[in-house]
Amino acid sequence: EVQLVESGGGLVQPGGSLRLSCAASGFTFSSYAMSWVRQAPGKGLEWVSAISGSGGSTYYADSVKGRFTISRDNSKNTLYLQMNSLRAEDTAVYYCAKVYQLPERKGYYFDYWGQGTLVTVSS
Amino acid sequence: SYVLTQPPSVSVAPGKTARITCGGNNIGSKSVHWYQQKPGQAPVLVIYYDSDRPSGIPERFSGSNSGNTATLTISRVEAGDEADYYCQVWDSSSDLVVFGGGTKLTVL
């Protein structure tokens, strides 16, 4: 059974930093790309970042580019999101999601999601 | 950047058919995926690759995609289907993922 468990959320001041983790189990972690998706309170889903299975390729939404860094440790089956220069608008539940890649550059979707971790940016 | 447009809300009586649309420029050329999210829960994939259902998703859920509109259809709607529904695509021009704004399905 696929399980994704996020941790590391909490209250942080504007301009501060936080590192989220996502512990994965139930599948061959290194074979799959992974992603972070967030949801601000009462709002819709917003894709944040993705990383290839090897970790060699990373992708970011414009809203977080230059401030957030996605990474993974395949020896620990763990995905990370380092968040720096946090802003009030980064307040959200952050979900870790397993990526299923379609062939022939048809893109990808998210077949499994964690329960999320809440990040609150406030003074 | 690519934009997906969903109606904010759709209402339907139990036993009837609900149709939730997702509009985008030439969306028929892209693969569309749909997620269901109930209050306080993580999203769940209900349709992928326009019209395929993951295991465990009832046959009442179906999808289609053509032209500028993709549609999620829920037949014989039940009270338990009440949730927010999001469409999602991958924009090949930017290599980024795009979600629609979400549609709240209310079962009357």
Q: Give the type of residue at A59.
A: Y
List C-alpha distances in Å: A17 to A10, A64, A108, B81, B96. Answer: 11, 13, 29, 38, 24
A1-57: pLDDT as tens digits: 999 999 999 999 999 999 999 999 999 999 999 999 999 999 999 999 999 999 999
pLDDT of amino acid B60: 97
Cα–Cα distance measured from residue A25 to residue A45, given in angstroms and rounded to the nearest whole number: 24
B73 versus A104: the higher-pLDDT residue is: B73
> Residue B30: which of B104, B96, B107, B108 has the closest Cα?
B96
- Residues of chain A in contact with residue B97, where contact means CB-CB under 8 angstroms, are 35, 47, 50, 107-108
Question: Residue B29 — left, alpha, or beta (φ > 0 → left; ψ -120 to 50 → alpha)?
Answer: alpha
The DSSP secondary-structure symbol of A102 reads P
Handedness of CA A82, B39, B101, A89 (dihedral sign): negative
Q: Give the type of residue at B62.
A: S
pLDDT of amino acid B69: 98
Alpha helices for chain A (secondary structure H): none
pLDDT of amino acid A44: 97
In the structure, what pLDDT confidence band is assigned to residue B94 with cuts at 50, 70 and 90? Answer: confident
**Shortest Cα distance, chain B CAs vs residue A52, angstroms:** 13
- Residues of chain A in contact with residue B33, where contact means CB-CB under 8 angstroms, are 109-110
Query: Are B51 and B59 spatial neighbours (Cβ–Cβ below 8 Å)?
Result: no
B34-66: pLDDT as tens digits: 999 999 999 999 999 999 999 999 999 999 999
When CB atoms are compared, the residue of A44, A47, A106 closest to B97 is A47
Q: Which residue has the tokens 């465990």?
A: B56
A58-88: pLDDT as tens digits: 999 999 999 999 999 999 999 999 999 999 9
Which residues make Cβ contacts (< 8 Å) with residue A68, sequence separation at least 6?
Answer: A48, A49, A60, A81, A82, A83, A84
**B35:A110 CB<8 A:** yes
Cα–Cα distance measured from residue A66 to residue B98, given in angstroms and rounded to the nearest whole number: 19
Task: Indicate whether B95 pLDDT > 90.
Answer: no
Which residues make Cβ contacts (< 8 Å) with residue A76, sequence separation at least 6?
Answer: none
CA nearest to B34 within chain A? A109
**A113:B43 CB<8 A:** yes
